[in-house]
Amino acid sequence: MNAIGRKMENKLTNLLKIKYPIIQGGMVWCCGWQLASAVSNNGGLGLLGAGSMTPELLREHIIKCKAATDKPFGVNVPLIYHEIEGIMKVIMEEGVKVVFSSAGNPKTWTQQLKDHGIIVVHVVSSSKFARKAEEAGVDAIVAEGFEAGGHNGKEETTTMTLIPQVRKATGLPLIAAGGIATGAGLLAAMSLGADGVQIGTRFALSEESSASSPFKKRCTELQEGDTFLALKKLSPTRLVKNPFFDKVKEAEDRGASAEELLQLLGRGRSKLGIFEGDLTEGELEIGQIASLIDRIEPVETIMKQIADEYNHSLSLLQKI
Amino acid sequence: MNAIGRKMENKLTNLLKIKYPIIQGGMVWCCGWQLASAVSNNGGLGLLGAGSMTPELLREHIIKCKAATDKPFGVNVPLIYHEIEGIMKVIMEEGVKVVFSSAGNPKTWTQQLKDHGIIVVHVVSSSKFARKAEEAGVDAIVAEGFEAGGHNGKEETTTMTLIPQVRKATGLPLIAAGGIATGAGLLAAMSLGADGVQIGTRFALSEESSASSPFKKRCTELQEGDTFLALKKLSPTRLVKNPFFDKVKEAEDRGASAEELLQLLGRGRSKLGIFEGDLTEGELEIGQIASLIDRIEPVETIMKQIADEYNHSLSLLQKI
């Protein structure tokens, strides 16, 4: 039974044809061809983040990503995105091999994508949604915990409690997300029964990320408790505590309605914060694990560190 | 380096003189001598929960626990408890070997307990508090994440993100808590750098737990999302969603003040819910991981399952 010494190969690495069971989360405003191709070239699966692109911009990034890597890469698509039709058309026209879908009903697009030979992975926050995604025919599941950055499930189930539940609910390849940024985190996720991990925050703060420098710098300075799940009456979103967050908190503490919060949020705040670097009025979406990250590094360094730390942490484990 | 095959022994098992690095959380209304002695007799460290006992009742449980096991056991003491002076007096008079302190300043009692030869372990929810506990002279740290039941930190840091932070902050023996109920959870915690775990929920739902049958039964039926962190304007507390919780939620959603929430909470609700089994008006404190537990078992079975699953999960891990 003891497989120590053998190099990792499992149903996820086989499905996605990757060396390491590490997926780079396809976050808005961070994930262009530079980041996705760097992750894929270093043994993981890079994802373009279509949620902050027009269809034509996505096409440009797909073409550049193909030129920059001969390894597999994918596209993350929030299914509730207003340009979804155009995005899916580009994905199919450009022969993208892998789609990670999130924030919406997996039944809507899964079959059509699969008919085009595309591998479909769906992001969920509960085992109930994992079962629904399996019924819709997806090839793998991302289960994302409460500690993840940005948009988040309503049930607030953490990665530590979510992964064993989803593992029980489905036999599909399972990717753990939320709170994972290191080799020790990868090892913990594999211990819980995952077949791999999706890492957002650490890659959002890499050199190749398209996020603005002020955003990246601020995020590497965060301490524990500096992100918080807010906007629960709209769509729960993990944000850095900044002046904009303070306004949201003040409103929520006095019982502000969803309508008032929507008004306060307005439009374009995640672009303002992440891409344009407005640290005061922007919505700064990042995971809780940012407090562990204190520098901006190239993807090559990050991947090497994760693999080395994983193997080292594994070597320290003892039988009980 | 690879230690697989060797039986576990580390600074925590050496400090506490236990076979398995498993501590039973000293929860209110669950943890009398029956539970604590069963855990200690099966290779872990059992804790009496002084937070729901008078000093004289605690003395009775200590005496019975000594009679029921020749293995080490300890007492959990919330430092803000109104009977703290009497509780500490009994602990010192009865020659208790280990104290787990929580909810209060570790400076107040640590030195006095250590002068009596008592091992002191303090429960924290952040690396800042871990450093303060180390300064106060404690022998080990419990770091407890957002997913834990009952009273909880204000920063909402989950176990997956908290453990690596506290590991960086202190070289003391580190016990992970929150969301851990199985061998896979134990393995995940050890992967993150912990030296052991504190398990609350699973033992609260064991045969030997003093919690009422209706409470235990209800908790084994919980689904994901059925517990929630509430009462954040008082002291954040993870509760089962029941009619009492609904009242709290309704009040919080409309911005109720701390004073109003205090009035609504009243006194004795955790006893009413956990010990007396009032599932409607009681405060039902349990961890998020309860949704993974579907039966009430004896401690012996639980400990064996955790150890077997830990070893099995470890055998499945591969190098990267």
In a domain, B1, yes or no: no
Best of B126, B158, B253, B305 to disrupt the A interface (most A CBs within 10 Å) is B158
Question: How far from B3 is each of A205, B52, B304, B307, B317, CA to CA, in Å?
Answer: 34, 42, 22, 17, 13
Residues A115 and A257 in one domain: no
The pLDDT mean for chain B works out to: 96
Residues A45 and A140 in one domain: yes
CB B199 within 8 Å of CB B26 = no
**Going by DSSP bridges, is the β-strand pair B227-230/B237-240 parallel, antiparallel, or unpaired?**
antiparallel
What single-letter DSSP state applies at residue B196? E
- Judged against a pLDDT cut of 60, whether residue B296 lies above it is answered with yes
Residues A169 and A226 in one domain: no
Q: By C-alpha distance, which of A305, A216, A290, A231 is closest to A262? A: A231
In a domain, A3, yes or no: no
Distance CA A185, CA A178 (A): 10
- Other Cβ atoms within 10 Å of B140 Cβ, number: 24
CB A161 within 8 Å of CB B292 = yes
Cβ within 8 Å, pair B292-A318: no
Distance CA B240, CA B150 (A): 10
Q: By C-alpha distance, which of A172, A89, A191, A189 is closest to A133? A: A172
Residues A27 and A131 in one domain: yes
Residues B185 and B305 in one domain: yes
Distance CA A171, CA A184 (A): 24
What average pLDDT does range B154-173 have in this prediction?
98
pLDDT-derived band at B8 (thresholds 50, 70, 90) equals confident
CB A87 within 8 Å of CB A55 = yes
Cβ within 8 Å, pair B224-A9: no
Of chain B residues 253-312, which have a CB less than 8 A from chain A?
253-256, 288-289, 291-292, 307, 310-312
Of chain A residues 87-146, which have a CB less than 8 A from chain B?
126-128, 145-146
Give me the domain span that covers residue B249.
223-289
> Which CATH number characterizes residue A73's domain?
3.20.20.70
Best of A126, A197, A224, A294 to disrupt the B interface (most B CBs within 10 Å) is A224
Q: How far is A179 from chain B (nearest CA, A)?
A: 5
β-bridge mates for residue A24, sequence order: A199
- Judged against a pLDDT cut of 70, whether residue B81 lies above it is answered with yes
Residues A21 and A166 in one domain: yes
What average pLDDT does range A272-300 have in this prediction?
98
- Judged against a pLDDT cut of 50, whether residue A144 lies above it is answered with yes
Residues A264 and A279 in one domain: yes
What average pLDDT does range B24-49 have in this prediction?
98
Q: Token digits for A62?
A: 């797909």
Q: Token digits for A287?
A: 């995971």
What average pLDDT does range B51-78 have in this prediction?
98
Residues B66 and B142 in one domain: yes
In a domain, A320, yes or no: no
- Judged against a pLDDT cut of 50, whether residue A3 lies above it is answered with no
CB A84 within 8 Å of CB A103 = no
Chain segment A33-71, per-residue pLDDT in tens: 999 999 999 999 999 999 999 999 999 999 999 999 999
In a domain, B62, yes or no: yes
Give the start-end residues of each E strand in A25-173. 46-49, 73-78, 98-102, 119-124, 140-144, 150-151
Cβ within 8 Å, pair B192-A188: yes
Residues A205 and A225 in one domain: no
Residues B231 and B200 in one domain: no
- Judged against a pLDDT cut of 60, whether residue A1 lies above it is answered with no
- Judged against a pLDDT cut of 60, whether residue A124 lies above it is answered with yes
Percent of chain B residues topping a pLDDT of 90? 97
Predicted confidence at residue B278, as pLDDT, reads: 98
Q: Is residue B56 exposed (0-12), middle (13-18) or buried (19+ Cβ within 10 Å)? A: exposed
**Total number of domains in chain A:** 2
In a domain, A5, yes or no: no
Cβ within 8 Å, pair A160-B156: no
What average pLDDT does range A82-91 have in this prediction?
97
Chain segment B93-121, per-residue pLDDT in tens: 999 999 999 989 999 999 999 999 999 99
Q: Which residue has the tokens 């830990």?
A: B310
Q: Is residue B7 exposed (0-12), middle (13-18) or buried (19+ Cβ within 10 Å)? A: exposed
Predicted confidence at residue B273, as pLDDT, reads: 98
Distance CA B282, CA B241 (A): 11
Please report residues of A whose CB lies closer than 8 A to that of B316. Answer: 1, 3
Please report residues of B whose CB lies closer than 8 A to that of A293. Answer: none
- Judged against a pLDDT cut of 60, whether residue A288 lies above it is answered with yes
β-bridge mates for residue A76, sequence order: A49, A100
In a domain, B74, yes or no: yes
Of chain B residues 178-197, which have a CB less than 8 A from chain A?
178-180, 182-193
β-bridge mates for residue B240, sequence order: B227
In a domain, A80, yes or no: yes
- Judged against a pLDDT cut of 60, whether residue A217 lies above it is answered with yes
Percent of chain A residues topping a pLDDT of 90? 97
What average pLDDT does range A190-195 have in this prediction?
98
Q: Which residue of A has its CA nearest to B293?
A: A165
pLDDT-derived band at A6 (thresholds 50, 70, 90) equals low
Of chain A residues 227-246, which have a CB less than 8 A from chain B?
228-229, 233
Half-sphere exposure of A169 (CA within 13 A, CB side): 26
Rounded to 5 degrees, φ, ψ at B243 are -55, -35
Burial B112-138 (b: 16+ CB within 10 A, else e): ebbeeebbbbbbbbbbbbbbbbbebeb
In a domain, B3, yes or no: no
Residues A135 and A22 in one domain: yes
Q: Which residues contact A144 (CB under 8 A, 6 or more apart)?
A: A123, A124, A125, A152, A153, A159, A162, A177, A178, A198
What single-letter DSSP state applies at residue A8? P
The H-assigned helical ranges of B205-282 are 213-220, 243-253, 258-265, 269-270
Predicted confidence at residue B6, as pLDDT, reads: 52
Chain segment B238-259, per-residue pLDDT in tens: 999 999 999 999 999 999 999 9
What average pLDDT does range A237-265 have in this prediction?
97
CB pairs under 8 A between A and B: 209
CB B288 within 8 Å of CB B238 = yes
Residues B127 and B232 in one domain: no
Question: How far from B272 is each of B105, B215, B216, CA to CA, in Å?
Answer: 28, 10, 13
Cβ within 8 Å, pair A7-B319: yes
Distance CA A47, CA A76 (A): 6
Chain segment B174-205, per-residue pLDDT in tens: 999 999 999 999 999 999 999 999 999 999 99
Chain segment A11-29, per-residue pLDDT in tens: 999 999 999 999 999 999 9
Cβ within 8 Å, pair B224-A254: no
User: CB of A224 within 8 Å of any CB in chain B?
Assistant: yes
